[in-house]
Amino acid sequence: MTTPRTYLDHNATQPLRAEARAAMIAAMDRFGNPSSVHAEGRAARAIVETAREQVAALVNAKPGEVVFTSGATEANALAIGGRAWSAVLFGNAEHAAVLAPVRRLKAALMELPCRADGVQDISGAESWASQLPASDGAVFASLGLANGETGVVQPVAEFAATLAPFGVVVHSDAAQAAGRMPVDFRALGVSLMSVSGHKMGGPKGVGALIVRDGTPIDALLVGGGQEKRRRAGTESVVAIAGFGAAAEAARRALDQVPTIAALRDGLEAAILRNTTGAVVIGAGVERLANTSLIAMPGKTAETLVIKLDLAGFAVSAGAACSSGKVASSHVLEAMGVSPEIARGAVRVSLGPGTTADDIERFVAAWTAATGTAALAA
């Protein structure tokens, strides 16, 4: 008998929404190049511009501020590499798609520390900015809106407001947040924001950088005038259609967030009751409603993930981008989590289709897995 599958790894990628699939199938019949002026080209262009409006509406941006990319990784790279920055401030628990390009810059770098609860400590941001020489030129800062491993929501609006008087260009990686919590580009006060299609039920391989009007940024990919000369290359019309439809569906489904939060809270409460020693990381602060990072001291996350997979549940040992690597989580290291706890941290991330029955069955599988003597580290 085949074991039924329950998908609880939405932070790695969310299953394709029905609305996105339908939009992509319809777009496949529009074969024109969206840069062509004939009827076929205009039909393809209409699909791209409709999706631009849909993505903009999700995050309260103007359609003209949406620059389509191949994903949030490219959007981050464009934000970080689109100018010659003289100084950069960033969180030490950011996603690798921010940390890697930042650390390659020829600029004065400053890392923000992370508190034990998973919130980046921004208390030193004003002092950092005030000490910059007036001749330093373009200055950049980046703080993700929600951490993909812990789900902890970061104080981006406060961060941007603190740095605004100093003319700092503030970027936020909102790949995990957009579609899972209300995101307001205007209210956050940032100049640049990255979003991802597949994190909200769109296709993989498409995302966007939101660029506030008046923010200068140079293209990394050149050779064409697409996306207002900010990203050369013929737009992936089919993927963009799916991204736009997913963004619209996610915006309409934001009223489900309290229901998902209740399921997540019930999952954590049950696990804490049933398994002695379990630790919910980041539980004391605001988190994404769908995300739970649960650690079992004395167990290894990789083994737990395998056991749960055999029981029919898809979860992650930390971030999916690190799967298969024998390395500790830099996020948990930044938080000061002990190695014994960090080694046993499993991320469970819920989605729109998660049910109370899914949670009940997962808790039973978790209890069985963590009670197996063979799982000892």
Alpha helices in the chain, H assignment, sequence order: 18-27, 39-59, 72-81, 96-103, 125-130, 156-163, 185-188, 226-229, 237-252, 257-274, 301-310, 330-335, 339-342, 356-370
pTM given for the model: 0.94
Query: Is 3.90.1150.10 the CATH number for 6-15+255-375?
Result: yes
Yes or no: say if 170 and 215 are a contact pair by the CB < 8 Å rule.
no
Helix (H) or strand (E) holding 109: strand 108-112
DSSP character at residue 224: S
- pLDDT of res. 352: 95
- pLDDT of res. 325: 52
Q: Check if 321 is active-site.
A: yes
Yes or no: say if 35 and 228 are a contact pair by the CB < 8 Å rule.
no
| Total Cβ atoms within 10 A of residue 38 | 9
Yes or no: say if 188 and 55 are a contact pair by the CB < 8 Å rule.
no
Yes or no: say if 13 and 320 are a contact pair by the CB < 8 Å rule.
yes
Q: What is the pLDDT along the chain (377 residues), one digit of tens a residue?
A: 677 899 999 999 999 999 999 999 999 999 999 999 999 999 999 999 999 999 999 999 999 999 999 999 999 999 999 999 999 999 999 999 999 999 999 999 999 999 999 999 999 999 999 998 876 669 999 999 999 999 999 999 999 999 999 999 999 999 999 999 999 999 999 999 999 999 999 999 999 999 999 999 999 999 999 999 999 999 999 999 999 999 999 999 999 999 999 999 999 999 999 999 999 999 999 999 999 999 999 999 999 999 999 999 999 996 444 445 546 799 999 999 999 999 999 999 999 999 999 999 999 999 999 984 334 44
Domain boundaries, the chain: 6-15+255-375, 18-252
Yes or no: say if 19 and 249 are a contact pair by the CB < 8 Å rule.
yes
Distance, in Å, from the CA atom of 178 to the CA atom of 331, rounded to the nearest integer, reads 20
What CATH number does the domain located at 18-252 have? Answer: 3.40.640.10
Which of 84, 321, 356, 364 is flagged as catalytic? 321
* Tokens, residue 184: 């307001």
